[in-house]
């Protein structure tokens, strides 16, 4: 009986320790046939009182999925791998072109607009999220994100 009470208490504590991460507007960049790499973008919202980090990602459509950002060095924009992407307590992290993103390296297939691919996100609290995300061209993806974030779509 004592072991059962200990087990129930442990499960209750571990369930409350897992952050509540919501993934909004995920998409992967469509690329021309033969292109070896792509990227995935989204907004990660942390609905808990503790910061949590995205620590890795994986997909069946690429040999590797790495967390990246862009930095400005000597007037040149460079892409760099990062060990994690932190989502502050009750905050959000935006993965977007020109900023934080998930690189899909060594594509095993073409990523054409309107296809759906798998992407698994792994977080520092031990949780993971298995997603089916749409492949979009970057401009469409950016427009959708801007529209959902309350920004008006500009027309030429």
Mean pLDDT check: name the lowest of 57-66, 88-97, 121-130, 147-156.
147-156
User: Cα angle vertex 101, ends 100, 102, to 5°?
Assistant: 145
- For residues 146 and 23, which has the higher predicted lDDT (pLDDT)? 23
pTM of the model: 0.78
Confidence at 3, pLDDT banded by 50, 70, 90: low
Q: Which is more confident, 156 or 21?
A: 21
Burial of 111-150, coded b for 16+ CB within 10 Å and e otherwise, reads beeeeebebebebbbeeebebebbbbebeebbeebeeeee
- Residue 156 pLDDT: 37
């Amino acid at each position: 009986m004592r072991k059962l009470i200990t087990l129930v208490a442990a499960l209750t504590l571990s369930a409350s320790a897992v952050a509540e991460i919501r993934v909004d507007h995920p998409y992967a960049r469509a690329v021309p046939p033969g292109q070896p790499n792509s990227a995935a973008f989204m907004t990660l919202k942390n609905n808990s009182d503790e910061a949590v980090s995205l620590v890795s990602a994986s997909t069946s459509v690429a040999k590797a999925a790495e967390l990246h950002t862009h930095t400005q060095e000597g007037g040149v924009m460079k892409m760099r791998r990062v060990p994690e992407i932190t989502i502050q307590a009750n905050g959000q992290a935006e993965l977007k072109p020109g900023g934080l993103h998930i690189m899909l390296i060594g594509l095993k297939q073409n990523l054409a607009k309107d296809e759906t691919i798998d992407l698994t996100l792994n977080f520092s609290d031990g949780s993971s999220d298995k997603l089916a995300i749409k492949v979009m061209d970057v401009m469409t993806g950016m427009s959708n994100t801007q529209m959902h974030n309350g920004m008006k779509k500009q027309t030429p």
